[in-house]
Structure 1
Amino acid sequence: MLGVVRTLTALDRLLDVLPVLADDMRVETRFAVAEGSAFARNLADELHRCQAQVVTWDEATGKDFDLAISPSSNGPLHELEVPVVTLPHGAGHHKLRATETGVAQEVSGLSRDQLMHEGRVVPAVVGLSHPDQLAELRRNCPEAVPRAALIGDPCFARLQVSLPMREQYRESLGTGRRTLVLLASTWGRDSLFGRRGDLARELVATLPADYQVALVLHPNIWNKYDGLQIDSWTRSARRGGLILVPRLRKWQAALIAADVVVSDHGSLALYAAALGKPLLLGAFGHDEVVPGSPMELLGERARRLQPGDLRAQIDAARPVPGHRQLAELTFQDRPYQRLRTLIYQRLELPEPPWPAHPEPVDPFTP
């Protein structure tokens, strides 16, 4: 099997997917970078750090594979000579497709420009995380509707089973009895980091010692600016105790450990809300959000973090009203079983006799 990645975000999502193949020595997975993204820099190095088997794109486009999985509909997927399964790389399809001048009025991941090439639908399977996304696919690319498959969200499933390990995550972070405030930013000018980049420093300077602050930045921010620049921008805050969460595979534990989340229109906000975390929005890019989507509903319901007494607002933060309904509108049950069944059907192999269950995420120590 071939794992196709274009960005760190796609790699993060793919690493949530691959456990459905755990322990099965009939299946070997290799990885390739689909070039073309502005956020693909050093991606092959990141794959090597994960100890993945990496092949060149020329090798990937040969006939040595039986199936490819891509957590993105972008890139030269049409060059692959094997069936391709595409998956959302966030909490569903809630953003409009980004262009060089802004956004198009098409759903990112479901648009005709992304799913078709020279008049044919490229993916053999278009994975959806919720039944409501089928209507969006029909509006955006009706030709791909016969290829749609309801899978769910493996990342959210892992977050759910990680909830009982919350105290272990807090212990690893050194939180203790402190109130952990997690700042989480998507990428772009309307993101939390784009609009309120000094918020982490302000919170660290304002909140008393019985609070802890952590910052999660979208992988695209890390890729655009790299670690040295981000370390420079957050130096005062880190000296004051800010935890700068690493770029890959660590945000999940920080989210489970958090007492309050301050975020924007990124997927992490939707995960936080669906888990029932107290949530405040420090920014929100309305123009990037799909009308009628669960993310738009989140933007309507969640409280805003206003200038002024930050501690009082954080102390007063509550779960988003109707957060259980929000979760039902965003996610589907049994994603690991659904995804594993689909993969083995495509590989023309019988499923293993053991069950497909999500595993808790790993803790990390700053």
Structure 2
Amino acid sequence: MWGTLNPEKLILAVCRNLTSVTRLLETQDLFRGDFRLRWVFTLEGDSHFQDGARRLLAEAGVHPVSKPADVPYDLVLAASENVDFAALRTRALVLPHGIGFNKLLPTADGIGIRVAGLPPEDVLQSGQAIMALAHPDQRRLLPAGSESVVIGDVTMDRLRASRQLREHYRRLLNTGDRRLVLVASTWGQHSALGRWRTLPRELHHALPQDEFQVLCVLHPNVWARYGRRQLEVWFDQVRLLPQHNGWQSAMVAADTVITDHGSLSLYAAGLGLPMLLTETAGETVADSPISRLGAPQIRQGPPLAGQLDRAAVVPVPPGVFAHPGEAADRLRSAVYGLLGLTAPSHPGPLPRALDPVICDAPAASHYTTLTDGVLRRFPATSRTRRPEPLVVSERETDLRLLEEADALVCEAVLAPEEAVEQLRAMRHRWPDRLLLAAATAEGLVIADQEGSIGNVRGTADAQILAAVSVHIGVIDGVRTVEVGGRKLEVQFSRNPSSTARLEPRD
């Protein structure tokens, strides 16, 4: 009576957590434009990692039904092995929420172990669940009598197809010419961050900011367990990619991946990215593709910058990705076949990796070195003191760094006369600094400890020019330095005015 568009078939998408919501929404996108299908979502069970799933559905414009038994559905799609199959009236097509079956988890009673991703044996043998597989070799893990369909891996196909947009993603991430290091962690005590929780922060502070960009991807279960606020407090200054999207585009944009036994290691291998793995996990299924990955290991203790040079491209082990480039169409065909519908004659869409959220704000404070004409800047924190000169912007939020600064920078662009007055005010507040700097349209006005004032010109931002200046001082002349692999010519000149001088510190 109330219907308007009158679809022919109804698909019930059963969600349990954020990961399954994401996978089912991505699957729904493959059927855009088909008025014959209606999709109804339900959020089932009491998964410990359900936080955020309802919010993501709401953001997508989905209102999940609370009583799926009242829905006259024709097919169930699930992206979790833990749904209540006994409560379903029809068979369910179970989509992978990762790559294959590589991880061991405790059983519900905590006594035994099971392979993650596989429904209970009786469910598979009864035909209640049909497994969608990425490769025929995965059938060896299914019990006799199980039904399955090999579709390939939609996510891998999306990543490979999105490589043509790599520069687009790097622009959105503000990567530039830097080497993008992506740290990707699954969840649990054996994950990369479960074993080495300070790794992203150590990388962030050990690598020169103008040469490297460090981004971190956390499994959705980690976000659900601790929440955004707690994670941002723990990983202060580390660039965390949003939990709902961003990891796919960041992986396409990446130059090096550091990861663990999670699915992202195989995706990195599939993209041919140099990779380092954290310590081998005891929960990895023996002789699984991930156990045979063979990438070099990153270790705690040795310098991290040197270890990055050991990152290697490793081949994808056999038995992972079948039918490359065909997974979306094969999945569509499987769904239409189970519904008794003819697939459209035209090829379906293959959505690209979503644009990442811009998340790379420059640090406000740096320890700086200038060696053999190469300037390097390392993000600073009040937790660690280094011997190199500390250059701090007035926008720094940590007052301890302002107190410890060797050089202070006012980044607001001022007229030259205003910049000199700004330096006088800064000298009054911070009388013992090696260098004070105020930005102008052409560069900087600087003052040293003796009160000498000079002008600095160069095609770089105020923080970089100040970092050069703290090592050079107030002089007349031109210096060429290398920053982030690029040559930068910096012109220094003393202010000739006899009145343009600050009172030297006592």
TM-score, normalization by structure 1: 0.89
Residue 193 of structure 1: how far off its partner (Å):
1.1
Partner of 2:136: 131
Residue 77 of structure 1: how far off its partner (Å):
2.5
Asked whether the 8 Å contact 1:13–1:71 carries over to 2, the reply is yes
Partner of 2:290: 295
Aligned-partner Cα distance in 1 for 2:321–2:271:
11
1:344 aligns with 2:354: no
Partner of 1:330: 320
Secondary structure of 1:304's partner? coil
CA-to-aligned-CA distance 1:233-264 (integer Å, 9 cap, x gap): 011xx2xxx32100012110011111000000
Partner of 1:188: 188
- Given the alignment, which residue of 73, 79, 82 partners 1:71? 79
Backbone CA RMSD of aligned residues: 1.9
Asked whether the 8 Å contact 1:16–1:155 carries over to 2, the reply is no
**Residue 104 to residue 167, structure 1, CA distance change in 2 (3 Å):** farther
Moved over 4 A (4+): 100-105
Residue 120 of structure 1: how far off its partner (Å):
3.6
Higher helix share: 1
5 Å-filtered alignment, 1:1-366, equals 1-56=11-66, 58=67, 60-99=68-107, 104-110=112-118, 112-113=120-121, 115=123, 120-123=126-129, 125-137=130-142, 141-144=143-146, 147-209=147-209, 210-235=211-236, 238=237, 242-285=238-281, 287-298=282-293, 301-306=294-299, 307-320=301-314, 323=315, 325-326=316-317, 328-333=318-323, 334-364=326-356, 365-366=358-359
Aligned-partner Cα distance in 2 for 1:275–1:71:
24
Secondary structure of 1:180's partner? strand
What runs of 5+ residues in structure 2 fail to find an aligned partner? 1-10, 360-506
CA-to-aligned-CA distance 1:58-115 (integer Å, 9 cap, x gap): 2x12342111110111121221212211011101111123336879454222353583
CA-to-aligned-CA distance 1:274-321 (integer Å, 9 cap, x gap): 211110012331x211111111101xx11011221110111331212x
Asked whether the 8 Å contact 2:296–2:310 carries over to 1, the reply is no
**Residue 78 to residue 175, structure 1, CA distance change in 2 (3 Å):** same
* One-letter amino acid matched to 1:346: L
Q: Which has the higher contact order (CA 8 A, sep 6+)?
A: 1
Asked whether the 8 Å contact 2:107–2:114 carries over to 1, the reply is no
Asked whether the 8 Å contact 1:96–1:104 carries over to 2, the reply is no
Higher strand share: 2
Residue 192 of structure 1: how far off its partner (Å):
0.8
Q: Which has the greater radius of gyration?
A: 2
* One-letter amino acid matched to 2:164: P
Aligned-partner Cα distance in 2 for 1:151–1:83:
18
Asked whether the 8 Å contact 2:41–2:62 carries over to 1, the reply is yes
Residue 151 of structure 1: how far off its partner (Å):
1.4
Secondary structure of 1:28's partner? strand
Aligned-partner Cα distance in 2 for 1:97–1:335:
27
**Residue 104 to residue 331, structure 1, CA distance change in 2 (3 Å):** farther
TM-score, normalization by structure 2: 0.65
Aligned-partner Cα distance in 2 for 1:158–1:354:
19
Secondary structure of 2:269's partner? helix
**Residue 262 to residue 362, structure 1, CA distance change in 2 (3 Å):** same
* One-letter amino acid matched to 1:312: G
Asked whether the 8 Å contact 2:81–2:94 carries over to 1, the reply is yes
* One-letter amino acid matched to 1:297: R
Range 9-18 or range 165-174, more displaced: 9-18
Percent of paired sites with the same residue: 36
